[in-house]
Structure 1
Amino acid sequence: MLTDTKIKTAKAADKPYRLTDSEGLFLHVMTTGKRYWRVRYRSNGKEQTLTLGSYPELGLKDARHMRDKAKEMLKSGIDPNQNEKLLAVQSDTREVDTFELVAREWFDLRKDLWRPRHAHDVINSLERDVFPLIGSLPPSKITARLTLHVLKQIEERGAVETAHRIRQRMSEIFVHAIATDRCDADPAQTVRAALRPVQRGRQPAITSLEAVREMIGRVEADAAHPVTLLAFRLLYLTAVRPGEVRGALWSEFHGLDTDEAVWIIPPERMKMKKEHIVPLVPEAVAVVQALKPFSERWPHLFPNARRPKLPMSENAIGYLINRSGYHGQHVPHGFRSTFSSIMNERYPQDHNFIELMLAHAPKDKVSSAYNRALHLEKRRSLAKIWCDIIMEGQVSTLTLVSGKRKASQ
C-alpha cells in the first residue's frame, strides 16, 4: 500500500507508470510529472478505469474514500464512469446540504399535518429505499438517471405502487429544494413516465393508507342497512374476495368464543378450488357476532333482504361504495390490492405469508404442495397488524350497527 512519503518522492520517468495502492486504486505518474489517482474495476464483465482526480489536490486518504464510494455504486448497479460528477461530490458532502438533510427538513414542515402513522410511513420509506443510495448527495447533483435507478430498485421487488408513491415524495422534496435555492430541477418529475405503470385493469383500488381510511369512514357513515355495512367491514378486515364474503355461511365459522377463531371457506367456494382458512382477529369476530340478531336464523351471514334464504345481492357492497362518492375509484375487490400494497410495502420480508392470506396460487410446484393451514399464527399476527392499521380512526362495530335500520339493502 502507498504512503504519503512514497507518493511525494515519486519522480517522472521516460514512460508513464503506476504506483499501486489497494482494491484497484493506483497513482498514475505521467512523463510530465503530473500524477492522477485512478481506480480499476469491472463492469458488465469488462475492466474499466475511473479517474478520481490529481495529486496533490486529492490526497491519499480522500482518494481511498472516493474509491470506496465507487465500489458502493457498483454494488448498487451503477457504473461510476457514468456518474463522475456525482462521484466527485461524494468525496466531501459535509459542507453542502445533502438530499437527506433537505428531505428531513421537508418532512419536519409537514409531519404535524399528517396522522402519526402516515408520517411514520413517509419517513420510513425514505430511510429504507432512498437515503442509503442518494441521501449523502446534494439535490443539485442528483440526476434523472440516478433517481430512476433508486425507483427501479423498488420496482424490481414487485412494489410498483410503492415506487410511484416514493417518486411523488421525492418530487416534493426536490420542489422544496428548488424553493430554498438548493437545486434547479426536479429529476423525480422527469422520470415519471419511465416507471412501470400501475396495472389497475377493471378493478380500481385505493392503495394509499390515508385515502383508504378516509374512504372507509365515509362509507361507514352512510345510512345503509347494518348487514351491508357489516359485510363491507368484514371484507376489508379479511381481504378475501367479495363473493366469498357475500356467500359466507354460519357453518364456516369456528371458535368464535376463543382466541383461535377461524373462517374456513370450503374448496367449492374458492377461486382456486382449495380450502382457505382465514384467521379472525377480535374485530372480525365482533362483526360476525353483531350479525346474529339479523341473520342467525338463515344459512348465510349476509342474507338477501327480499329472499333471505339466498345470499345478499352481489352489487350491494359496490353500490354502498359508489353512493359514498367512490365510483370508478374503488370496488369491493379492490381491498385485496389495498391489503397487498400496504402490507408488502411495510413488511416485504413477509411477502409469502401475505400471498397466502390472499389465497394466491404459489408460482412453483413445491410451494403449491404445502398445507395452506400452515403458518396460521403468523398469518393471525399479520391480520392483527392489518386490522390495527386499517381501523385507525374508525368507529366501533357497536357504533357502526346501532341506530341504522334501513328497510332494505
Structure 2
Amino acid sequence: MKLKAATVEALQATDKRQEIPDDLCTGLYLVVQPTGKKSWQVRYRHGGVHRRMTLASFPTLTLAAARVRAREVMAAASEGRDPAEEVKAAKAPKPEDDRDKIKTLIGQYHKRHLKGLKSGDVVRRELDRFVVAAWGERDIHRITKRDVIDLLDGIADSGRVVTANRVRAYLNKFLNWAVERDILPLSPATGVKPVAKEASRDRVLTDDEIRWFWAACEAEGFPWGPLGKVLLLTGQRLNEAAQITEGEIRGDLWHLTAERTKNGRAHDVPLTETVRAVLAGVERIEGKAGLIFTTTGKTPVSGFFKARAHLADTMAAIAEKERGEPVEIPRWTFHDLRRTAATGMARLGIPVRVTEAVLNHVSGTGGGIVAVYQRHDYADEKRQALEAWARFVLSLVEGKAENVVRLQHA
C-alpha cells in the first residue's frame, strides 16, 4: 500500500490490530490498534533473526520522518548492527558515579571535617554503622526526607532511641556539610525532629545486679568480660577504657592525656590491685598501638551494643538459675556502670568532690571558681576511694557485703 499523509490520518481502527506496510520504504509498517492508536514499526534482520523495532507513535512521528528513521535503521542493520539493542542500551540506567555515593562523601566528610575533631572518630564510626550500612551505595541526591525518617525509626524500633537521636544529629551535620559544599541544594533532614524526648537516665545497678554482672563477665571472657570489670571498678568512660594502651599504664596508675579524655583534661586513674589483676589476665595481641582491648592489634574493640546485649542475657540466665525463676532485669547500658560506681562510692561515704575527681567530672562541686583555683589533684583520696569501691564490689561477689566498713566523710 502506498501510504500518504492523508491516508495515514484517515485510517480507521477495526476490531483487530492492523499492520500496513509502506510500499515506498522497505521494512516500514504503520500499526493501527483496535483502540485507534497508531504507531510506526520497522522490521529488519540481524544475525539471521527477524527483529521488530517501534519508532514512535503517529502523529508524534510523521510519515516523512518515519521513512527517514526507517531507512537509518535498515542501513545500520546492513552494517551488522542491531538498532533495537542500541536504543535499549542507550535508555538503560547508567552505572552511578562513585563521586556522589554516600560512602564516598562520608569518607570526604571525615577527611575534611571530622578528622580535626576530638569526637570525630566516634561520629565516623556511628555514620558507618548506621548510615553507610543502609545507604552506602546510594547517590546522595536520591536520599529523601522519608528515607531519613525510616532510618531513624528503624534504629529506635530496635530499642535504641538515644542512639537514633545521636545518629540524627550526626547525619544532620553531614548533610548540612554537603549543602555548604554545593553537593546538595537542600538537606533532606531539614525539619526531621528527634525520634523521642530523652529522659534523664538514673539507672544504677543493684547489689544483686552487680553480682550477676560480675558473674556474666567471668562467663563471657575476653574482651567484654575484662572490659566490663574495668568499667565497673574504675567508673571511667566506655571509649576511654576500651582504648587503653600499655603506654598509658605507669605501674599502678593509668594516665590519660588531654587528647584521650572527653573533656580535654588530662586524668590519672589509680589502679587497684583488683583492676591490675584483671588487666594482667588479658592476653596481649601485638600491635603498634599497644592496645589492650583489641582483637586485631590495630584497632580497639567495637560492637558495644551487641556486647552489652550478650552480657545482659548472660546476667538474666545467671539470675534465673540462682532464683529458680525468671528475673526481669531492667535495661542497663555501659554508661550506667559509671553511674553505679559513683553511687557506690557515695554509699561508702566518699565526698562528692573526690568522686568527681575519680570520674574526671568538671561540673557540680568541681565547676566554676573551684575548678580554676583548686589545683589539688586528690591523688591519695582517689586511690582510697577506688580501693574502697573495689573491696565493696568483691564483697558483693563473695557474699560478704555486710562486712564492708563505710568510710567517714572527710
Q: TM range, normalised to the smaller chain?
A: 0.3 to 0.5
Q: TM-score, normalised by structure 2?
A: 0.41
Greater relative contact order (CA < 8 Å, ≥ 6 in sequence): 1
